[in-house]
Structure 1
Amino acid sequence: MSQPLIQVKVHQNLGTISIHRDEKRNALTRAMVFDLIQAFRDLHGERKVRAVVLTGGGSAFCSGLCLEEMNEIAQEDDNFDRWHQDTSSLAELIHLMLLFPKPIISAVNGPAMGFGAGLVLASDIAIAGPDAALGFPEPKRGIVSGLCTPLLHFRTGGRHAARLLLTGETISAERAVQIGAYDEIVPTNNLWAYAAELTKHIAEAAPQAIQLTKKHLNETVGEQLEMLISLGAAASATSRTTDAAKEGLAAFVEKRDPEWR
C-alpha cells in the first residue's frame, strides 16, 4: 500500500505535516492542496498540539505546484472556472495558515520554489537547511505569482519582493536569511529537533496568549494581507488563462525554452 503524499503525525506537543512526493520534488497536485487543508484542520482540533512543523520529504521542501497537471488544464478550452477553483483553494490554504491558532514552523529541508516558498512565508517561523534555496520562477512559465506576492512583501519588504518576482531568480538560503524570508540556518539533520526545541519554548506560554499574539501580529503588521491574497488569487487565475501561460507550461513539460510573442 502506497504512503500518503501528505503525512500528519503528532509527537507529544508537536504536530508534523510532511510532503512526500519525492520523485517530483514535492510539487503539489490539486489533491495534495486539499489534503494540506485537511491536515491543518485536523491538527487545529488536537488540544495537546502547541505548534505545527511543516516540512518536506527527500531533498526538497516543495518545488511549487505540479506544472504537468497545470499544463493539462491549460490545454483545455474555457478553463477559467477550473483556474478560479484552484487559486481559491490555494488562497484558502494560505488564509488557514495565517489564522491557525498555533504557531506554524516551516522546517525548510531543501529548495522552496513558487507556491512552496509561499508556504514558508505563510508560516510564523522559518528555519532552513543550508541547501534551502528559494525562488519564484512563475513569470518564466507565463504566470503571475499573485498569492505569494503579498506574503513576500509582508516578510521581506517591497524592494526584495520586486527583485525576486521580476527576475525569477533563485537565491541561496543565506541570502534568504539576509532579506528575512528565513529566520536562520540550521544543519538539515537537526531541523526537526530544533523545531521541537522551539515548541518547548512556545509551550511555556498560555495557549490563549499565543493565539491572540499571532492574531494581533497578522491583523496589525499585515493589516491588509487577507484582502491582498484574495486579489492575488484573482490575478493568478487570470494569468493562467493567457497564451503566455499556455506556452510557458507546455515548454516546461516539453523541456524546451518558451517562445514568447
Structure 2
Amino acid sequence: MGGQEILLQELDGDGVLRVTLNDVARRNALSESMLGQLTRVMQAASSDRAVRVVVLAANGPAFCAGHDLKELTAARAAPDRGREYFARIMSSCSALMQAILSCPKPVIAEVSGVATAAGCQLVASCDLAIADEGASFSTPGVHIGLFCSTPMVALSRNVASKHAMEMLLTGDMVPAARAAEMGLVNRVVPKGALRDATMEMARKIAGKSSMTLATGKRAFYEQRDMAIGEAYEYASKVMVDNMLARDAEEGINAFIDKRAPHWQDS
C-alpha cells in the first residue's frame, strides 16, 4: 500500500465525523485490516462526546466490494483449508456491523459506486443511507457458489422478504433508484450532490440532543423484533425515562416559549 491510509477521518465543528474508506486499489474491500480499523473507529466514536453523527463514505469507483476474496483464498493453504481464518473474518465482520448498530450516534452511509456482498451489508447496517444516481447494490455470492448469508442478516432487516430473496437468489445488480424503492437507501441524489446532501442531513441530526438520539436509536432496534404488546410496554418505559431527562424538559419548555432549545445532552 506504500504507506497509504486505508481509512480517513475528519471531524467538523458540528460534530459530524466523516469516515472514508480509502483502499481504492482493492475497491475498499473489507479486508482483515479494514474490518479492524473500522470497528475501532466505531467503538471510539461511540464514547467520544465530540462526535454526534458518523458518516461512512468512500473514495474511488466502489463504495465497498465486500470481503477481500484474495485474502480468503490464500487462507485455504492452511491445514484446515482456511476454516479458522474464515470463522475469524466472519466474526470480525459481524462485530463491525453490530458496532454500527450499537453505536449511540446515528450512522449514515454516503454511497457512490457499487456496494456488493458485505459492502451491501455495510450499507444496510447503517441507520440511514444516501446514494447518488450512479450507485448500485448487489449480493452476488450465488455467482461464485457462496450464498451471501451474513449480508442476508442486515438486508432482510431493511427490505421486504421477497426483495431480499430476489437479491440473494439472483445476485443481480440493483440500481440506486430501485434500492430507494425497496427501502435499502433513503434517497437518491444527482452525481456531484452526494456529499452536500449527506452532510446536510448529518448536520440537521447533529443539531438534536445526543441523549435523545441515543435513546431513540437504541429503542428502535430493541423493539423491532418484539411482539406488539411487549414493544409498547418497552417503548412506554423508554418514554417515561425520556420525559424525565433534562433535555426533554428543556425542549418542551423551549417549544412552549417559542425559542431555540439549549441542549445539555443529558
Task: Give TM-score, length-normalised by structure 2.
Answer: 0.80
What is the total number of aligned residue pairs between the two structures?
224
* Alpha-carbon distance in structure 2 between the residues aligned to 1:71 and 1:222: 36
Point out 4+ residue stretches in structure 1 off by more than 4 angstroms.
none
Which residue of 2 is the match for residue 57 of structure 1?
Answer: 59
Classify the secondary structure of the residue corresponding to 1:70.
Answer: helix
Classify the secondary structure of the residue corresponding to 1:88.
Answer: helix
Which residue of 2 is the match for residue 6 of structure 1?
Answer: 7
Cα deviation, residue 110, structure 1: 1.1
Whether 2:113 is the aligned partner of 1:107: answer no
Cα deviation, residue 129, structure 1: 0.8
Q: Where does structure 2 lack aligned partners over 5 or more consecutive residues?
A: 228-266
Residue 119 of structure 1 aligns with an amino acid whose one-letter code is: L
Whether 2:165 is the aligned partner of 1:174: answer no
On the 8 A contact 1:62/1:116 being kept in 2, the answer is yes
On the 8 A contact 2:113/2:136 being kept in 1, the answer is yes
User: Quick one: percent identity of the two aligned structures?
Assistant: 27
**Change beyond 3 A, Cα 1:222–1:193:** farther
Cα deviation, residue 197, structure 1: 1.3
Tell me which moved more, 110-119 or 23-32. Answer: 23-32
Cα deviation, residue 222, structure 1: 4.6
Which residue of 2 is the match for residue 46 of structure 1?
Answer: 48
Higher RCO (CA-CA < 8 Å; seq separation 6+): 1
Alignment of 1:108-257 (within 5 A): 108-222=111-225
Which residue of 2 is the match for residue 15 of structure 1?
Answer: 17
* Alpha-carbon distance in structure 1 between the residues aligned to 2:178 and 2:226: 27
* Alpha-carbon distance in structure 1 between the residues aligned to 2:223 and 2:55: 24
Tell me which moved more, 84-93 or 41-50. Answer: 41-50
On the 8 A contact 1:64/1:117 being kept in 2, the answer is yes
Cα deviation, residue 223, structure 1: 5.2
On the 8 A contact 2:136/2:174 being kept in 1, the answer is yes
**Change beyond 3 A, Cα 1:53–1:222:** farther
On the 8 A contact 1:154/1:222 being kept in 2, the answer is no
Residue 123 of structure 2 aligns with an amino acid whose one-letter code is: V
Residue 22 of structure 2 aligns with an amino acid whose one-letter code is: H
**What are the Cα deviations for residues 33-65 of structure 1, in whole angstroms up to 9, with x where unaligned?**
101111112222321221000011012111111
Residue 128 of structure 2 aligns with an amino acid whose one-letter code is: I
